[in-house]
Amino acid sequence: MTRSIIKRACSSAEQLPADLHPVLRRIYAARSVESAADLDYSLDKLIPPAELGGLPDAVKLLQDAIVNRQRIVVVGDFDADGATSCALCLRALRAMGATEVHYLVPNRFEYGYGLTPEIVSVAAELQPDLIVTVDNGISSVDGVAAAKEQGIKVLITDHHLPGEQLPAADAIVNPNLVDESFPSKSLAGVGVAFYVMLALRTRLREQGWFDSKAIPEPNLAQYLDLVALGTVADVVPLDRNNRILVQQGVQRMRAGHCVPGIRALLEVGGRSLSRIVATDLGFTVGPRLNAAGRLDDMSLGIECLLTDDAVAAAEMAARLDTLNRERKDIESDMQSRALDAIASLNLDDKQLPVGLCLFDPDWHQGVIGILAARIKERFHRPVIAFARSGEGEIKGSARSVAGLHIRDALDAVASRHPDLIAKFGGHAMAAGLSLPEDHYPAFAAAFDEEVSRQLSRDDLNDVVYSDGELSEQELSLETAQLLRDASPWGQGFPAPVFEGDFNVVSHRVVGQRHLKMTLSPESGHCQIDGIAFNTEVLPRGSQRVHMAYRLDVNEYRGIVSAQLIVEHMEAR
């Protein structure tokens, strides 16, 4: 695999504000932002709920359940998007007068993903009138059928891609249904849940519910901290609609308006609430929340988001932090074994499978998604990591690269080899699947064949996209803060990356495997700190390097300074 730096192409920026900083003008133009309207993240600029299909039927189900004091059971998913979706629905429904609202989240090691018949059996013990799925359900044909057999109504709210057959639910809300015209296909599960709650509040207001019951009409903006967290943690593309949801949530958090659980998770991660940005949610809060679902039971994460007791939130955040440390240790061991397995093949990058599958019977099934992502980053090709899930079956977690829709690739494999895969589902860049263990060799070959059909070896070359160079004057704390305040950056709306030539004035290894440097631009005389994570030596030992980097704000022991986060470095 080779890695190269390519400058981003820019669109027209003539309609952007005249007083916009030149660096920001360049960055936005490279992300197809054409006018000030594209940067207006006011809540009133959200796509109206009326444009999302399925809401009238969904709202009717929820309204009837609230008015008639029916029992609602929310069935979530075992990741951060599912946890935030679940917490949002419980908080919002209770605020709107629901008196019987409970939740279940499948333990991934016992029940698997989604509304399975087994989970329906567990839910039935709570005697629900209505099951509401969040961040799952669009593939739960058998589970919905099992619920209907028991006379339980089902509302599915999901954002995953549907299969050929939809479950026979009483209502489905999913922006990615085949005939759905909702403009934003990138809503996370928590975003879909938020839209459902918005529409429900409007219906209850119109029916005079709040006035008749003397219930204060809830301001649903108070739940945008949960929406922002789930959206960023699920790594969905930050189109304008999602940027509005994330930016509004982050602004509320900075002002101190967030649930105690998010505050506590930020604190154990060493982040200041008043200074957070969207990436802090993805790299600090999300992994700790996800650790519960990966290693234990996501109920711990959901309870952390549900509690209004700061002491209880702190205790649960500490437990989640401990689980996350355990997850890191497990992941490190799995990654070492995966790299050893790849090395044992004695193949260079050009000979490795284009679609790479890895399986170890001792791997932890809750961590294979992270492992697949790490191996994908290292070898820049689609990767599926498998672990045993019991009863002769293995589960795989897939991560893709630009140019390959991983869920569609799995669909193509299933079409050509109908008996290989037991079930699968997912997105363009991530997916999950299950298959009999003895099918693994045939599947690995079929997956590589399909990926090779869609990608060439040249597609496996890694590219770092650059926003050009910064002048010596622009390598400043002021510019770093400007870029930080211009967020949210994320999937589909990437943080700015610049390039330039630098002299390495000094360097040392910190934290055992990170290269801390003092740098001076070749075109100037200033000095600035830089850090290259997971790098211990300079390329070819050269003191002159060309690098791609992010300009960030570093705060250490009360001192705030600009710092370069190195994305790629090569000798000059």
CATH number for 526 = 2.40.50.460
Residue where a domain terminates, one of 440, 460, 480: 460
- Return the pLDDT at 13: 67
Contacts 24+ apart (CB under 8 A), 108-111: 108/78, 108/293, 108/294, 108/365, 108/366, 109/365, 109/366, 109/389
Q: Are residues 303 and 211 in the same domain?
A: yes
Q: Are residues 437 and 497 in the same domain?
A: no
CA angle at 273 for the pair 271 and 275, rounded to the nearest 5°? 80
- Return the pLDDT at 297: 83
- Return the pLDDT at 536: 86
Q: Are residues 95 and 181 in the same domain?
A: yes
Q: Are residues 199 and 222 in the same domain?
A: yes
Q: Are residues 395 and 272 in the same domain?
A: no
Q: Are residues 277 and 380 in the same domain?
A: no
Strand partners, 516: 508, 531
Residue where a domain terminates, one of 403, 438, 460: 460
- Return the pLDDT at 8: 84
In a domain, 354, yes or no: yes
Q: Are residues 312 and 396 in the same domain?
A: no
- Return the pLDDT at 12: 67
Q: Are residues 476 and 429 in the same domain?
A: no
Cα gap 260→256, rounded to integer Å: 10
Average confidence (pLDDT) per 10 residues, the chain, 572 residues:
76 78 93 90 96 98 97 94 97 97 83 86 95 95 96 97 93 96 96 98 97 96 98 94 98 96 97 92 95 89 97 98 95 96 89 95 94 94 95 94 92 94 87 95 97 90 91 95 92 94 94 91 90 90 94 88 95 89
Q: Are residues 474 and 418 in the same domain?
A: no
**CATH number for 188:** 3.90.1640.30
Q: Are residues 366 and 425 in the same domain?
A: yes
pTM: predicted TM-score of the whole model, two decimal places: 0.92
- Return the pLDDT at 1: 58
* Amino acid identity for residue 48 in this structure: P
| Pairing relationship of beta strands 498-510 and 544-556 according to DSSP bridges | antiparallel
Q: Are residues 263 and 244 in the same domain?
A: yes
| Pairing relationship of beta strands 528-532 and 559-571 according to DSSP bridges | parallel
In a domain, 438, yes or no: yes
In a domain, 8, yes or no: no
Q: Are residues 494 and 439 in the same domain?
A: no
Residue where a domain terminates, one of 428, 460, 492: 460
Q: Which residue has the tokens 């007083």?
A: 19
Cα gap 496→510, rounded to integer Å: 25
Q: Provide the residue range defining the domain that includes 362.
A: 348-460
Number of domains in the chain: 3
186 in Cβ contact with 162 (< 8 Å) = no
